[in-house]
Chain A
Amino acid sequence: MILAFFALSGLTVASALLVFVARNLLHALAFLVLSFLGMAGLFLTLSADFIGVAQVLIYAGSISVLMVFAVMLTPLASRNNGSTLYVIPAMLAAGGLASLIGFVAIDTEWDERKGEALGVSDFTTTVAGIGDLLLGRYLLAFEVASVLLLFALLGAIVLVQERRRAGEEA
């Protein structure tokens, strides 16, 4: 458990850093996929089996493929993964943010489950419970999310379709 946590967190943080330092945009994208996979493993150590699999499918699968499409559909644009002049203020702000989060995380007395909380013996699958909640208490939010996905689909199609002028041959 300890070994899994530290190996997966090392993988996630190292590939997230490589997303920042990679020179080529496509290499950065590959490291981003690696970081998503490490994050999926961390979700599994939190016994979130459904979310871990959904992470692999949605993030590492479809969102990264969408990003590859966006890079490939802009062939004349620069493949350079360069930074703007804001990199120093951004690093300062993010460093302050990370130290604030770390300080609060360590300093607070969390009312957390201790001891054998992470034993595997009492693990049951979360899929049935998530399904019950989605189609029960959160049914309205579920429907709104499906409408949101439909409109995002329509919006993406309408935005990128080629508009032909009236006199032009199809």
Chain B
Amino acid sequence: MPPIPAIEDLSITLAHYLGLAGTVFAIGTVIALSKRNAVAVLMGVELMLNAVNLTVLAFSRFSAAFEEGGSAPLEGHVFVVFVLTVAAAEAAVALAMAVLVYRRRETVDLDRFNLMRG
């Protein structure tokens, strides 16, 4: 077992951020898979998207190409901008669908959604 480093020697590495993002992603997965309410499922999906954004930004920041003095690799940031856009569009359409199903069935309980049963 390696010796436990002193607090001054401890530095935040890429692995810290990846582990944190994995944890948040797992919590989002549990929420998205197990919640009964459609809005709660959407909350889980948003948490998962957030965790992925954190991974992309961490890879961008800790990239070996990160130069001193400004010429940072910003492709990851641009990708996160697109993820934010798609997340906003997805939330708008998904919540509109939840409201639409509520008008027909007076519930947003996913167990009772069987509109497409033939």
Which residues of A are interface residues toward B (Cβ below 8 A)? 1-2, 5, 9, 12-13, 16-17, 19-20, 25, 28-29, 32, 35-36, 39, 42-43, 45-48, 50-51, 54-55, 58-59, 62-63, 66-67, 69-71, 73-74, 76-78, 80-84, 86-87, 89-91, 93-95, 97-98, 101-102, 104-106, 110-114, 117-118, 122, 124, 126, 129-130, 133-134, 138, 141, 145, 148-149, 151-153, 155-156, 159-160
Q: Could you tell me how many residues of chain B have their Cβ less than 8 Å away from some Cβ of chain A?
A: 80
A-B contact pairs, 23 of them (CB 8 A): A16-B27, A19-B27, A20-B30, A32-B46, A35-B47, A43-B53, A46-B57, A58-B84, A63-B46, A63-B88, A74-B98, A77-B106, A81-B40, A82-B35, A83-B35, A90-B33, A101-B26, A106-B15, A129-B72, A133-B75, A138-B78, A152-B88, A152-B93
6 tightest Cβ-Cβ pairs between the two chains A and B: A101-B22, A152-B89, A105-B18, A98-B26, A90-B33, A94-B26
Q: In the complex, A95 Cα to B23 Cα: how many Å? A: 9
Among A29, A62, A105, A134, residue most surrounded by chain B Cβ atoms (within 10 Å)? A105
Q: A90-B33, A113-B64 are in contact. Are A106 and B19 (CB under 8 A)?
A: yes
Taking a contact as CB atoms under 8 Å apart, the answer to whether A51 and B31 are in contact is no
Could you tell me which residues of chain B, from 87 to 104, have a CB within 8 Å of some CB in chain A? 87-93, 95-100, 102
Q: In the complex, A63 Cα to B74 Cα: how many Å? A: 25
Taking a contact as CB atoms under 8 Å apart, the answer to whether B88 and A130 are in contact is no
| Majority-rule SS of A interface residues | helix
Taking CB atoms, residues of chain B closer than 8 Å to A160 are: 96, 99-100
Residue in B12, B28, B47 whose beta carbon sits within 8 Å of that of A1 in the complex: B12
Taking a contact as CB atoms under 8 Å apart, the answer to whether B85 and A67 are in contact is no
Taking CB atoms, residues of chain B closer than 8 Å to A19 are: 27, 31, 43-44, 47
Taking a contact as CB atoms under 8 Å apart, the answer to whether A86 and B34 are in contact is yes
Q: A51-B80, A74-B99 are in contact. Are A97 and B25 (CB under 8 A)?
A: yes
Taking CB atoms, residues of chain A closer than 8 Å to B62 are: 110, 112-113, 117
Q: In the complex, A66 Cα to B35 Cα: how many Å? A: 19
Which residues of B are interface residues toward A (Cβ below 8 A)? 7, 10-31, 33-37, 39-40, 42-44, 46-47, 50, 53-54, 57-58, 60-64, 66, 68-70, 72, 74-75, 77-78, 80-82, 84-93, 95-100, 102, 106-111
